[in-house]
Structure 1
Amino acid sequence: MFRTALRLAAPRLSVSARVAPRIARALPAVAPVRAFSVSLARCGSGETDAELSSRLAQEISYERQNESSPDAAPPAFVSDFQAAGIWKIEDVAGSDEIALTRSYGNEKIRVLFSIGDIDTSAPEHDEIDAEEANHDDGEPDVGFPVRCAITISKPGQGSLTIDAQAHDGEFGIENISFYKDEKLATELTAEADWNRRGLYIGPQFETLDESVQAQFEAFLTERGIDSDLARFVPDFAELKEQREYCSWLENVKTFIDA
């Protein structure tokens, strides 16, 4: 359920096959671009606008094939997560961050993560070969780590902030910080971030006594920060990234067409 995690030194892994890397599509050949002209096109439209708009439209069509409409019911894994009634999903369109929040006794708990942890670059050839081998063997795809900032606050008593990574159904804890002022731990302003700098963030989790590590893990599991949540976070990050990418494509196309 939990694993002791070292800080990442290697590049992030590629996105799993459920949200395919955006490799070049098999699109019609691009017509040669004419030399840049000093004279401006009428109405502020460039000579390449129509071709760019067409390519964006093709990309939108391709991506929408694997995405349900905004009015459709959420995927089963999201419906099941919401039906459990433990966590509230705070997902604002256009933002790259997602927050999961809940109350536990007198505690306010927040799990904050970002779609910025998703690597949408094309995988190397050896990675593609490995993925194809996994498909042939019927083995599941290797997931990707999503960094999480977990905050547990008590009014007037301060906050714990846990830096962890959700990966393969486990939370890898890196360190646990304590702030006497819960606002300092929970606020997402530039001022709060500046005030947190220079403060002692606590020891690396793996350096703690193993019995202390085990009790911290039990402490978090009791509050719903468990294997189910560790599986949900990367899945929802992928879903969110796909939605935001499609929205970005449509917004850019609208701008180009204006």
Structure 2
Amino acid sequence: MFSRVLVRSAAVAARSARTARCAPMLRSVNLQAASLRPLHFSAVRLNKQCQKVAQVLESEVALEVEEDVQDLPESLQSFFDKTGFSAVASPGKNMAEITSKTARGETVHVFFDVAQVSNLPLESAELDGEAAAPSEEEEFDGMADNFANVNVVVVKDSDQSAVSFELLMNLQEGTFFVDSATPYSSAKAALDETAESEVSRELVYHGPPFSNLDEELQESLEAYLESRGINEELATFIGTYSEFKENKEYINWLKNMKTFFN
């Protein structure tokens, strides 16, 4: 399902949340006082600290492995069986990809960040009767927090031309908002993961804001995406699959950390 009731600021807010970087805060240090209190760590104490970290990590790994679901949840397998989508293995990565083939000789690629999706609020927070209403800035930031970035690339198998759709997904409502549609002369230009290709895609003209397009063109592109499986069912799948994959990645992260500190 697609929503065009959203204001343009939703897209801007979500992109800002995706690209924002926090500068480190610097604290002034009293060098004279610091020089009077040099830090001395013996080899024994340093080793104990490593052992402490390793013990905590071991406990965390044991807890997570005990609760880990090894097999793909039934709801996810049901989605794959019903839609024809399949997951592309991406161990150690936040970015997940699923693909499908259409009857018209196209390959549909759907990309989403499992960490970003997993951190989306599942329920709208209700204000306490006595709580103050959110400010305009808080409301704007909250709007950005409700969306995750989803990239859909449709490749025409006959000539390998492609169109990339940048979408914003609202997991609570199961809706998608089209931010832009960009045509590419080749699948490689649209999908290649090298740094050079990433820069090239940033420099490409992505067209006018989607909401500025002719109403009929907007509706036809939305209908096209829905016919390729970009719908409420996909949004539900993305939410469930992101939790499943993020948990697998977290367990592997714990194990890798434990290996270092052993």
**Alignment-derived partner of residue 153 in structure 2:** 151
Matches within 5 A, 1:58-207: 58-68=59-69, 70=70, 73-104=71-102, 105-118=104-117, 144-154=146-156, 155-156=158-159, 158-167=161-170, 168-207=173-212
* Contact 2:118–2:246 (CA under 8 A) maintained in structure 1: no
Q: Unmatched 5+ residue regions in structure 1?
A: 13-34, 131-142
Write the deviation string for residues 188-239 of structure 1: whole angstroms up to 9, x where unpaired.
Answer: 1112112223221112111222222111111111111111112111221121
Task: Report the counterpart of residue 229 of structure 2 in structure 1.
Answer: 224
State the alpha-carbon separation in 2 of the partners of residues 37 and 120 from structure 1.
40
- Deviation per residue, 1:73-95 (Å, 9 max, x gap): 31121121122151011132212
Q: Is the 8 A contact 2:118 2:243 kept in 1?
A: no
Contact 1:166 1:233 in 2 (8 A): no
2:58 partner amino acid:
A
Kept in 2, the 8 Å contact 1:99–1:113? The answer is: yes
Aligned CA RMSD, in angstroms, stands at 3.0
Q: Is the 8 A contact 1:184 1:192 kept in 2?
A: yes
**Shift >4 Å, 4+ stretches:** 118-121, 126-130
- Structure 1 residues 129 and 233: alpha-carbon distance in aligned structure 2, compared to 1, 3 A threshold: same
Aligned to 1:40, which of 35, 39, 43? 43
Letter in 2 for 1:212: L
Q: TM-score, normalised by structure 2?
A: 0.71
Percent pairwise identity: 26
Contact kept? 1:145, 1:234, Cα under 8 Å: no
TM-score, normalised with respect to structure 1: 0.72
Query: Any unmatched runs of 5+ in structure 2?
Result: 18-37, 129-144
